[in-house]
Structure 1
Amino acid sequence: MTQQSESTASTTTREAGDAALPSPLAPPYPPPAEPRPLAERRVWPRTFHDRLTAPLPGLRAMARFAREGAVRPGPEGLADIPRLPYAPGPLPRVDARTVAVTWAGHASWVLRIGGLTVLTDPVWSRRILGTPARITPVGVPWEALPRVDAVVISHNHYDHLDAPTLRRLPRDTPVFVPAGLARWFHRRQFTCVTELDWWEAAELDGVRFDFVPSHHWSKRTLTDTCHSLWGGWVLTDQDGQRLYFAGDTGYGHWFSRIGRRYPGIDLALLPIGAYDPRWWLSDVHCDPEEAVRAAQDLGASRMAPMHWATFVLSAEPVLEPLTRVRAAWEKAGLPRENLWDMPVGASRVLSGD
């Protein structure tokens, strides 16, 4: 690691921290950053606590959570599991000018953009630590995937960073991760890991990967709270077609800022589930109405809901996120065809010759 990389990392951290302080006198947003080298070795702060947009729960909140115990739906809320939308189909045929998305479940998507196949937060396991088994199967069999050209990770929570799934990948697969997370991949022998700070970018075969802020946090063990960053990804091909993958996030000011810096988002993949009880989860998980507001803040042409119908992570009825997001979309007066409320396993083609 060079002294130059240390200096660059600390400067970037200060800039990203400054961006978290909204000001009516702030200058116009700069254009997207120049791409950084792939697999660059970086030095980062030990903690990213200063990036939190809300404090993590304290002892009083933990005590209330333990007392109320509202972490799963009741029997009525689980009764609709057989009705959850699940319609696996073949992946669409694409070329380098076509953008297509396939929902594998939860926050896992198969993105086809700029001739690349990109996986987001790939979780193909039936079960993750501390959570009941999936309530819908994976929408895309692993064996049906084309060669995976890249993976993007939003943060290190177990339902977004799944070691058994990642072990299925060749170790030279390019992986794009938040600042501070490359070490986890290096320990597992991945050789092309690019970690980025907020508002930084890298490029692979003509497709830009920009890492952008989210309202969330990170933790994987008892001792690593906020030791790595969290965020979403904006992918842009050579024709300017643009996808936004939010990862896991609450609602807040970042969406409008992302939309201003990356105008013309064609499709926003936004989380709509794991939101109840609100007093516990509102800072880190959007509810369906907030997700629709986020899509509007982003200026996105279309929205595809995710982060529901796969794992039971909270107390809302399993079908409620879908009914509420549809109602919120209609109430906002947005074109129905631009809400891509897809079943698990389904695909949509954004554009192409």
Structure 2
Amino acid sequence: MRLEPRPGTIGDGPAIHWLGQAGFWIDTGAHRLLIDPYLSDSLARKYAGQRFDHRRMMPAPITPEALPRPDIVLVTHAHTDHMDPDTLGPLHRRFPDLPFVVPAARLDMARARIGEDTPFVAVDADKTLEPLSGLTLRVLPAAHESFEQDAAGRHAFLGYAFASGGVRIAHSGDTIPYPGLAERLRSFGADVLLLPVNGRDSERRDAGIPGNLTLDEAISITTEAAAPYLVPHHFGMFAFNTLDPATIEAAAAESRDPIILRPEIGMAMDLRRD
């Protein structure tokens, strides 16, 4: 499988499209998956006037009202830039039968933000399911600086690896490295890893902002997982929680194994089967 970047818009054929932050539209040719879309200004309104005001550094590439209908929506966790009521609520109202995969540990929050009558698929880590015919979904634990579990032992932070239309893609969710992460991805045989690269530090941690992988860690995990492609994300949205895109571009210029593709709004990464 090959990824070939080109100018493109959502809905124009089999490709990976970045929506900003951790959000992706992925058309495998067999299924159209929407992952963690943040397409509103809900956080800017919530934190207006505060130290971390959550103003967008980039405009939303599309509105929730203009999104084509996906076949399924995957939500990794309940932070608003991943489970956004102003994006997911309107999407549910447009497509009442659209299934949403969410952490079982945060099902009550999903109902409140998206809609009580939403056809949820509530999942937990290390489960494999087929939510749609021909779509295999493996649920991964994620450590957003730490593992967080509810009273029933279910993980609040998740990632998803899926096989569809002959391609295998994994989105780690928000996570730092943990023992077994690369092995899980390797055993799934992912062709493409979608990994956060905004890193972490004590200043953000002390402010209640949990961090993620650094770019070097993401590259190392991709190498250990034997995945040919790394698509970094979780940068360029909020000034206090980002990574300079030039750093990603420099790493991409130097790396051939894995191939690093810095996503851009308006770019389609075509999924080509060799």
> Whole-Å Cα distance in 1 between the matches of residues 195 and 158 of structure 2?
12
Shift of 1:238: 4.7
Partner of 1:275: 200
5+ residue gaps, structure 1: 1-86
Partner of 1:71: none
Q: For the aligned residues, what is the CA RMSD?
A: 3.1
Partner of 1:288: 215
Aligned 8 A contact 1:154 1:177 in 2: yes
Which TM-score applies when normalising by structure 1? 0.63
Partner of 1:117: 32
Partner of 1:231: 158
> Whole-Å Cα distance in 1 between the matches of residues 97 and 248 of structure 2?
39
Partner of 1:7: none
CA 1:228/1:199 → structure 2, altered by over 3 Å: closer, same or farther? closer
Q: Which string of whole-angstrom CA distances, capped at 9 and with x for unpartnered residues, describes residues 172-199 of structure 1?
A: 2111112322223334224321121211
Shift of 1:234: 0.4
> Whole-Å Cα distance in 2 between the matches of residues 138 and 206 of structure 1?
31
Out of 180, 186, 208, the position equivalent to 2:111 is: 186
Amino acid at match of 2:157: W
CA 1:279/1:133 → structure 2, altered by over 3 Å: closer, same or farther? closer
Residue 175, structure 1, aligned to residue 100, structure 2: yes
Shift of 1:347: 1.3
> Whole-Å Cα distance in 1 between the matches of residues 11 and 234 of structure 2?
22
Amino acid at match of 1:135: M
> Whole-Å Cα distance in 1 between the matches of residues 273 and 64 of structure 2?
25
Aligned 8 A contact 1:182 1:194 in 2: no
CA 1:123/1:244 → structure 2, altered by over 3 Å: closer, same or farther? same
Out of 31, 52, 67, the position equivalent to 1:145 is: 67
Shift of 1:228: 5.3
Shift of 1:330: 5.3
Residue 212, structure 1, aligned to residue 137, structure 2: no
CA 1:90/1:144 → structure 2, altered by over 3 Å: closer, same or farther? farther
Aligned 8 A contact 1:176 1:196 in 2: yes
> Whole-Å Cα distance in 1 between the matches of residues 201 and 265 of structure 2?
22
Which TM-score applies when normalising by structure 2? 0.79
Partner of 2:3: none
Q: Which string of whole-angstrom CA distances, capped at 9 and with x for unpartnered residues, describes residues 72-104 of structure 1?
A: xxxxxxxxxxxxxxx98423633xxx4x11001
Aligned 8 A contact 1:92 1:349 in 2: no
Aligned 8 A contact 2:124 2:154 in 1: no
Partner of 1:325: 248
> Whole-Å Cα distance in 1 between the matches of residues 82 and 173 of structure 2?
8
Out of 77, 90, 100, the position equivalent to 1:155 is: 77
> Whole-Å Cα distance in 2 between the matches of residues 218 and 158 of structure 1?
18
Residue 133, structure 1, aligned to residue 58, structure 2: no
> Whole-Å Cα distance in 1 between the matches of residues 184 and 235 of structure 2?
23
Q: Kindly name which structure, 1 or 2, has the bigger radius of gyration based on alpha carbons.
A: 1
After superposition, residues 68-107 of structure 1 pair within 5 angstroms as: 89-91=8-10, 93-94=12-13, 98=14, 100-107=15-22
> Whole-Å Cα distance in 1 between the matches of residues 147 and 184 of structure 2?
21
Q: Percent identity over the alignment?
A: 25
Partner of 1:348: 269
CA 1:283/1:309 → structure 2, altered by over 3 Å: closer, same or farther? closer
Shift of 1:117: 1.7
Amino acid at match of 1:184: M
